[in-house]
Amino acid sequence: MALRLSRSILGEAEAAAVSRVILEDGYLGMGNETRLFEEELAAYLGVEPAQIISVNTGTAALHLAVDAVAAQSRATGGAAEVLVPSLTFVASFQAVTAAGCVPVACDVLPETGTLDLKDAEKRLTSRTIAVMPVDYAGNPWHLNEVHDFARRKGLRVVEDAAHAFGGRHHGRKIGSFGDMVCFSFDGIKNITSGEGGCLVAFDAEAARLASDARLLSVADDARQRFAGSRSWDPDVKRQGWRYHMSNIMAAIGRVQLSRLESEFIPARRRLAALYGERLGELAARGAGLALLRTDPDDFIVPHILPVRILGGRKDAVKAALAGEGIPTGVHYKPNHLLSFFGAGALRLPVAEQLYAELVTLPLHPGLSLQDVENICAALGRALQAADGGNAR
């Protein structure tokens, strides 16, 4: 099989689970299977089932989280604002605008690609209601400091943990603490439900708002569906969306969750460790690349493997790797450069520098250790060729 940058890792168990829902349950929408998935997610994270709001995408989770926070806010004087690192998938920004709020692009730290709190503080206004840290590449860098910052400034925290499921920050599982924590379960994430995601809410009222909003804000409809019933005399008091997770998606997710600790986490960490060793050797030889930092007290389950290609050689290196059959990616184009979010009117120098340097290498549990050896060797050749053959 040709190398893939990312891929879904599914098999007969997931197929059997979907078949069971189709042939035995017969109800494909949101029902008992979804309820069981939420209960198993809650048990895995160590939270209450009522805190888990499963949805059809990670973007929906972010949207519902921001929407719930905005509904609880007393901000006046214009649209509410949310501080967001610019170096993130556009879903983070779109979720904010979908909730009727304004995403305020912030710069990132050069060594991690995560939110620069000093830059974020400069962008606070009377309309700021929340900060959205992004666990870039699965890295919850200084997450405690983000929560301390939010407490000092009277802000809510909507954590974009799309890359970080299964990871731990200073011994605590991501999603077991915080305010509003959002995961993605799309096809290439640490676990998948085909598409999907969930919100973990640590505020009961926010959880209620988000749970109803995923089902068109029909009051208490999720509980009715989990009991095999429906709300035939409904009430709707606010805007909602059709964001619920189906039984088919939940069936896949339940199997994937059962494989996380035994298969997916060890594989991702084993591959990332070998990458770290080989790429560290290249960096130490002055080959022209740098690795992003992580906190040794954090347990990272990496979703992607980005590296910094220095000296303006990113495009040449990507082309050379493509010539050897190795796919690469770029995570991400900073959102403040996108037309809808300002087209570069704001300058965020670190995010822009990283965009000029970052190259994502293949990482998923379907890779072998030999694949990683081959990729790193090819990267070394590409770096040397891009340097005119002079790299040490």
Annotate 185-220 with three-state secondary structure: CCCCCCCCCCCCEEEEECCHHHHHHHHHHCECCECC
Per-residue confidence at 77, pLDDT binned at 50, 70, 90? confident
Q: b/e map of 262-299 (b: 16 or more CB within 10 Å)?
A: eebbebbbebbebbeebbeebbeeebbbebbebeeebb
pLDDT score recorded for residue 391: 41
Per-residue confidence at 390, pLDDT binned at 50, 70, 90? very low
DSSP 278: H
Rounded Cα distance, 196 and 375, in Å: 31
Q: 278-310, pLDDT tens digit by residue? A: 999 999 999 899 999 999 999 999 999 999 999
Rounded Cα distance, 70 and 366, in Å: 41
pTM of the shown model: 0.96
Rounded Cα distance, 289 and 310, in Å: 5
- What amino acid occupies position 323? G
Per-residue confidence at 364, pLDDT binned at 50, 70, 90? very high
- Residues with Cβ within 8 Å of 96's Cβ and at least 6 positions away in sequence, in order, are 62, 66, 82, 84, 102, 103, 132
Per-residue confidence at 1, pLDDT binned at 50, 70, 90? low
pLDDT score recorded for residue 215: 95
Looking at the chain, the whole-number percentage of residues with pLDDT higher than 70 is 98
Domains of the chain: 12-254 (3.40.640.10), 261-386 (3.90.1150.10)
Per-residue confidence at 321, pLDDT binned at 50, 70, 90? very high
Q: Is the pLDDT of residue 392 over 60?
A: no
Tokens of 199: 């919100």
Report yes or no: 192 and 10 within 8 Å, Cβ to Cβ.
Answer: yes
Tokens of 318: 């990507």
Among candidate residues 76, 206, 51, 65, the one with its CA nearest the CA of residue 132: 65
Mean pLDDT of the chain: 96
**How many H-runs (helices) and E-runs (strands) does the chain carry?**
13, 13
Rounded Cα distance, 323 and 178, in Å: 44
Residues forming a β-bridge with 215: 242
